Every structure is written in structure tokens, then in C-alpha cells.
Amino acid sequence: MIANLPFIAVALLIGISLAIILLKKNMIKMVMGLSILEGAVNLFLVALGYRENGIAPIFTSAPEGAEMVLPTVQALTLTNIVIGVATTALMLALVMVIYKKYGTVNSNKIRRLKE
Amino acid sequence: MNMLLDNMPALLIAVPLFFAFLIPIIGKFAPKIHDVWIILASFVSSLTAVITAVTVFTKGTIVYVFGAAAGSPAAPIDSGGIPFRIIFTIDGFCAFMLLSAAIVSFAVVLYLVSSQKERSGKSELYALYLLLTAGIFGMVSTGDLFNFFVFLEINSLAGAALVSYHRKGGIAAEGALKYLIVNTVGGLMVLFGIGLLYAQYNSLNMAFIASQMSFTTVNIVALVLFITALAMKAGSVPFHFATPDAYSVAPSGITAAMIVASQAGLYGLFRIVFTLYGDIFNTVTIGWVVIILGVLSMVIGVTMAIPQKDVKRLLAYHAVSQTGYMLLGVGVALAVLGDPLAMAAFGQTAMEGGLFHIINHAMYKGLLFLAVGAVIYRTGVWSLNKMGGLGHNMKWTMIFFLIGALAIAGIPPFNGFASKLMIYESVFAFNPALSIIAMVVSILTLASFMKVFHSMFMGPQLPEYAEVKEVPKLMIAGMVILTIFVIGFGLVPDLVVNNLITPAADALINNGAYITAVLGGGL
């Protein structure tokens, strides 16, 4: 049960973030929702690689027979954090431009691109 | 020279990235040679892609291992058979996508150099453009799931930044934001799916995962995530809402490149469905899912396109509709993948038709966007209601637009006809109703384009456009390159199908070859 806790948290976070992205009208909040989604995926990746009582995966002078956490998923997480920063920054910049031009961040009020 | 050829797959990414970061510096210190430099940059990066593709077609699949001597195996001997090295696996299908991306990206650069001449901030535009190219090349040639995700994100980020580049007012930012949100959600879904696969197989190597793949619930969840996310990237229904918004506000040349960028998503979809999941279960269900996505895209895309007034938005909805044809063709092949008899009778043709349509679509839709962009460049008007009589002053643009319009509607002797005919024939053998829908959509497309052609170019010369001139020569050169392929592929379809499309289709259908190429015969 306790080992599954991170995965339950991941499921909750994904649910919350998708609800925010789909339901909120404020674009800043939509960007926040995307950041939560990104955090959820990161948590999922790190939790995958966790081993009970595991140590950092450095082979030099590691104690004999010690269990190690998986390094690959941590590398993936690190990369995803970097990509996430770039994405969030670009999205916030775009929201800023929209706010300057329209004076609002409500996604219902800015629909100038007609269907 | 040999060393260069050996390391061509690495140069595929290194060349566009190198030039991308160099171009702002050149733009600052040597603005005079700036335009020549960007053409050179794009030429060299397209050349690497073409050389790589030709090597694949003549010598077979390339497996390139980063950071190891040429020819080393993907799995080091002391690794216990787990290929943890970073690799590029370029087979027939990848080579085919590389070729299409290389041609379009070079044609677009010629066009952009001329159309952006008077604009500000063009160095950064080209830097982003080369990043987009690097993203596309990377997506279609990597053999590693996580690298696929990274290149997907490079592709989406550069694409969104390019969409928001010029048009005044908030609409460009609005279209870009929509595009970026959809693509980021899609990208994170792909990453989640990758996590699910990694949890079971402890590897990110596509070939290794494909060889170990089994029928579990977790794998199905991952497959659903992949299909949803990559359909978002490819802009098929039901995720088509961002595509027209983004395409209609992006600079015209960029939109032509975005077509190829979204097709890289289609590449990922087919690669994952066929290579990763091809072996393990009855693909009939998945095939029908893809077919239904395709038919919906075709019908909804074209019905949304007909009433549009903004000419670029209209073209963008047609792009959604044409994506449907590719999904339909490949979906039919997927549905009969387990049945060798049906596969030989019509599955193979359906597959080849769907893939042939990918490269054809990149050519003629690119040409249409460039031609429409040329009109907008001279008139500054987007709305079809305000255009008219431009055929008097812009004869070349009119001819190019007409060629593109006839090709997209599937009229011989242009390339759209060749691939659509293959799709009609084979889909008719599978299910006549689907084939009839495809033909009706094609007729609607023709009707829609005749309307556009008429309201843009026909009629008496309007007084406000009396001063309009033909566009500069470089813009025409960009369109000529695409026109050559539109007509050439239409005139000798057999040659193209035998030399390009059949290897690509075989690479997808026969996923054992992909696995053996990476892992060797031992596993």
C-alpha cells in the first residue's frame, strides 16, 4: 500500500491538471494546469525508478550488494524539467502578449479567431 | 570523405543545430551575407538528409550508434544484451520521411528569404526554422523512445514560436498558444506512455521493446496514450481545433513547413503501431480505430473548409481532411495485417497509397500555402471576399495555385491523383462504403478549390489591385521546386512507388527486419 502511494498521487495530480486545463477559462490557470501535469509525469518517472532502501546509483565505492535506484528515469526527469521550463516560459510569454493586446486573459473573451 | 559518410546520421541533427545557433550571430555582425548564409545552411542540412536517405535506399537500414566506433553493435557485449546505447535507426520509412522533409524545408527557405526581406527579427526566425527542421529530422530517424519525445518537444516549441512570429495583433499569439497547449499535453502523454513501457522492459530502445512486447493491460494503456497524443500532433479529428488556428496565423512559408512537422507526428503514430505493437495482437481493432479517425478527419475537415472566408484557414481545414486519407489507407492495411491473403490482395496497395499520400500532401499543400502566401504578400488581404482578378497581374502564382488545387482534388496527371487512386482501389476491395466516402470528399475538395481559385484569380481586374506585381524570383523558385515534384510524381508514379514507397511500406509491415537490424540475429 505504502509503495503505491506515489502512483495514487500521480493519478490524482493528472486528474486535477486535466480538469484545470479543460474547465478553467483563465489562461494563466491553464498554464498552471499544464505545469501540474508535467510535475505528475515527473513524479511518475521518479517513482518508477525507486527501490526500497536504494542508494544513489554510483558504482565507485558503493557498498557490496546494496540496492540502487534506477538512474535512467532520473535522467529522463531532469530532461523533462528543462523542456518544461522552456514550454512554460513560451506559454507565459504568449499569454502576456494576449493580455497586452486584448486586456484580458479570459479564454472566452479573446476568441477573435472565428470558427 | 568516408568518415563524413559514416557519420551522416549524426550530422543530420548537428548541421541544422549548428547553423541555427550561428545565424543570429551572423545576422548581427555580417548582415550582408545573411541571406546567402541561410540558403547555404538549409541546403547543407537538406543535403545531409538526402544523402542519408539515398544510402538507406541503396544499402539498407542504417543503425548509427552515438559515441561508438562505426559499425559497433547497439548492444555492447558486456551489457547482457540490453541495448542502452543511444542510437539512430533509419530504415526505408524513415528515409522516405527524411526526403519529404528535406525537399519542403529547402523550398520554403528560398521562399522565406525573399518574403521576409523587409521584416525585422529575421535571424531569429531562421534560427527557429532550423530548430524545427532539426526536430523533424530527429523525430523520424531516432531509434530511441525518449529521444523521440525530446525531438517532438523541440518540434512543438519551435513550431509554436514560429506561428506567433509576425502577424500584428493578438491573434498570432492566440493561435500559437492553442497549438502549444495541445502539443504539450500530447508530449506529456507520450512521455507517460514511455514511462509505462520503461517500467516493464527497462529499456527505451524501440527495437528491444518491440522484441519483448507482450499483451498486457499496461501496454494497451500506453498504446492509447501514444495514439491520442500523436493524432493530436498530426492534427486529425477530434484534435483538429488547434490546427486551423495555428496554420492561419503563421507566416505562409512557415505553414508549409508545419505540414511536414505535423507529418512527423504521423510518422511516430505509424512507427509505434506497426513496429512496436505489430506482432502482439490482432490489429483489426486498432486498424478500425485508425480508419474511423481517418474518415472523420476527411469528412469534418472538408465540411469545415467549404464555408471559410479566410483563405489560409480554408487551406488548413483541407490539410485536416487530407490527413484523413493517409490514416484511411494505412488503417486499412493495419486492419488486414494478420491476414496474408487480404494483405497481398489489397492491404499492401492501401499501405503504399497512404504513405505515398504523405509525401504528395507535403508537396502540393506546401505549394498551395506558398502560392496563397504570395498573394497575401502582394495584396495584404486574407479574406476571399476582398480578393479578385489577381490572375491579370500574378500569372505565375495563378498557375502554381491551379496545379496545387488540381493535385489536391485528385485530378490527373498530378501526384494527388496517383496516391488517391491507390487508396480508392484498395479501400474499395476492403469496404466499398469507405471508398465512396473518400471519393465524395475528393469531389467536395475540388468544388471548394474551384471556388477559391475563381474568387482569387478570375474576374475583371479590381482597381485596388491594379498596381500589384508578380512576386520576386526567389519566391517563385521555391514554388517551382515543389511544382516539379507535384508534376513529376504524377507523371511517373510507378517509378516513385517502386523506389521510395514500397521500401517504406515493407519496413513498416515487416517489423522483424527493424528488430534484427538493431539487435542482430542473436536475440
Tens digit of each residue's pLDDT (9 = 90 or more) over A36-58:
999 999 999 999 888 887 888 87
- The phi, psi pair for B382, rounded to 5°, reads -100, -25
| Structural domain that includes position B401 | 282-491
Average pLDDT score over residue span A59-87 = 86
A61 vs B143, residue with greater confidence: B143
pLDDT at A115: 44
Mean pLDDT of A79-84: 94
Q: Is B14 exposed, middle or buried (0-12, 13-18, 19+ CB in 10 A)?
A: middle
pLDDT for residue B236: 84
Residues B174, A38: C-beta atoms closer than 8 Å: no
Between the CA atoms of B244, B245, B248 and B253, what dihedral angle is there, to the nearest 10 degrees? -90
Q: In CATH, what class is A2-102?
A: mainly alpha
Residue pair B482/B362 in contact by the 8 Å Cβ criterion = no
Low-confidence stretches of chain B (pLDDT beneath 50): 522-523
Is residue B469 domain-resident?
A: yes
Q: Using an 8 Å Cβ cutoff, are B330 and B354 in contact?
A: yes
Cβ neighbour number for residue B31 with a 10 Å cutoff:
11
Q: What is the pLDDT of residue B512?
A: 84
Burial class (CB in 10 A: 0-12, 13-18, 19+), B267: buried
Q: DSSP assignment, residue A26?
A: B
Asked if the structure places residue B452 within a domain, the reply is yes
CB contact under 8 A, A97 and B175: no
Domain assignment of residue B166, yes or no: no
Please say whether the beta carbons of A36 and A21 come within 8 A: no
Is B128 domain-assigned? Answer: no
In a domain, B289, yes or no: yes
Query: In angstroms, how far is CA B462 from the centroid of its own chain?
Result: 37
The reply to whether residue A37 touches residue B185, judged by beta carbons under 8 angstroms, is: yes
Total number of domains constituting chain B: 1
Cα distance from B3 to chain A (closest Cα, Å)? 31
B295 lies in a domain? yes
Please give the mean pLDDT across all residues of chain A.
Answer: 87
In terms of C-beta density within 10 A (0-12 exposed, 13-18 middle, 19 or more buried), how is residue A65 classed?
exposed
Is the pTM above the cut of 0.90? yes
**Mind listing the pLDDT tens digit for each residue in B116-170?**
887 777 888 999 999 999 999 999 999 889 999 999 999 999 999 999 887 667 8
CA distances from B445 to B243, B287, B375, B456 (A): 18, 25, 21, 16
pLDDT on residue B523: 42
| Residue A31 and residue A17 in contact, taking contact as beta carbons nearer than 8 Å | no
Instruction: Give Cα separations from B443 to A55, B212, B322, B436, B452 (angstroms).
Output: 65, 45, 13, 11, 14
Question: Using CB atoms and an 8 Å cut-off, which of residues 54-113 of chain A contact chain B?
Answer: 70, 72-73, 76, 79-80, 83, 86-87, 90-91, 94-95, 97-98, 100-102, 110, 112-113
CA B122-B187-B190 angle, 5° bins? 150
**What's the CA gap between B310 and B328, in Å, rounded?**
28
- Tell whether B352 is covered by a domain: yes
Helix (H) or strand (E) holding B88: strand B87-90
* Segments making up each domain of chain A, as ranges: 2-102
pLDDT over 70 (residue A84)? yes
- Residues in A closer than 8 angstroms to B191, CB to CB, are 41, 45, 76, 80
